[in-house]
A and B are shown apart, each in its own frame.
Chain A
Amino acid sequence: MRAEADPVVLDITANDDVVRARQLVRTLAQECRLSLVEQTKLVTAASELARNTLVHGGGGTMQGHLVDDRARRGVRVVFADSGPGIADLELALTDGWTSGSGLGLGLSGSRRLVDEFEIDSAPGRGTTVTVTKWAR
């Protein structure tokens, strides 16, 4: 699998960065010719994950790039923060789970919106979420 072109990198430190994240991911999705529904799902997932990075991670970064897997093209986006991390990943990935502040982490929902979803998180180690959406 080779990454096409340079990755787009965005610092997520304020509310309007979440909007920027949506715009950047949309641009990548369009370059990749994802269908409208696929684009909408990916951008919505990116919005959730960018917000998590900001609100729960205390700020972090987003990196997005096109990926190529011989027969198909796709978009891969990585959200990383050095925040508190998630203690119970399994619980966090369960539908209906919300953090103490009452805001859902949107992780389980985001997972359903993308084709590949990886999360690496532990208390004190921050959180990294990698999602991929392939063009059909």
Chain B
Amino acid sequence: MSERVPILQIGDVLLVSIQTDLDDQAVVHLQDDLAARVVATEARGVVIDITAVEIVDSFVGRMLATIASISRMLDAETVVVGMRPAVAITLVELGLSLGGVRTALSLEKGLQALERSRGARTDPTA
């Protein structure tokens, strides 16, 4: 049976921390669950923490890009944080670009990035 990744809400940001090796079904569930939660909570940001993730293959990579696209359509920005060097190197070799989804080195930096982009979006003088 496939597990469901917990989604935490901190203010208007949804936080997902992937801790285990997910099978494809769990990945699809995560995508669906996140989209539903963004709508339900009117979240403005989504942070996906992959600090504990050792393998990002094309399926997971596409999921991250898809979540970012869906979230953007729902007026939320997505940041993927904590990518490991070995994962980054492998993704480059695989030729996977993650669709240009925003990334940050840590959760803290990811939240800061969301703040900055939120400021830019809502600032009428920007």
Q: Consider the complex of A and B and state whether they touch directly, i.e. have CB atoms less than 8 Å apart.
A: yes
Which residue numbers of A lie inside 8 Å of B, CB to CB? 15-16, 18-19, 22-23, 36-37, 39-41, 43-44, 47-48, 51, 95, 104, 106, 108-110, 112-113
Which residue numbers of B lie inside 8 Å of A, CB to CB? 2, 21-25, 54-59, 84-87, 89-90, 93-96
From the candidates B59, B93, B96, name the one contacting A41 in the complex (CB within 8 A).
B93
A-B interface, 9 closest residue pairs, ranked by CB to CB distance from nearest: A40-B86, A109-B94, A47-B57, A15-B23, A37-B86, A19-B23, A16-B23, A15-B24, A40-B90
B56 touches A44 (CB 8 A): yes
Which residues of A sit under 8 angstroms from B56, Cβ to Cβ?
44
Known A109-B95, A109-B96, A112-B95; judge A44-B90 contact (CB<8 A).
yes
Main secondary structure of the interface of A (DSSP, over half): helix
Closest to B58 in A: A106
From the candidates A16, A23, A113, name the one contacting B90 in the complex (CB within 8 A).
A113
Known A15-B23, A37-B86, A109-B94; judge A43-B58 contact (CB<8 A).
no
A37 touches B89 (CB 8 A): yes
Q: How far is the CA of A18 from the CA of B27 in the complex (A)?
A: 13
Which residues of A sit under 8 angstroms from B23, Cβ to Cβ?
15-16, 18-19
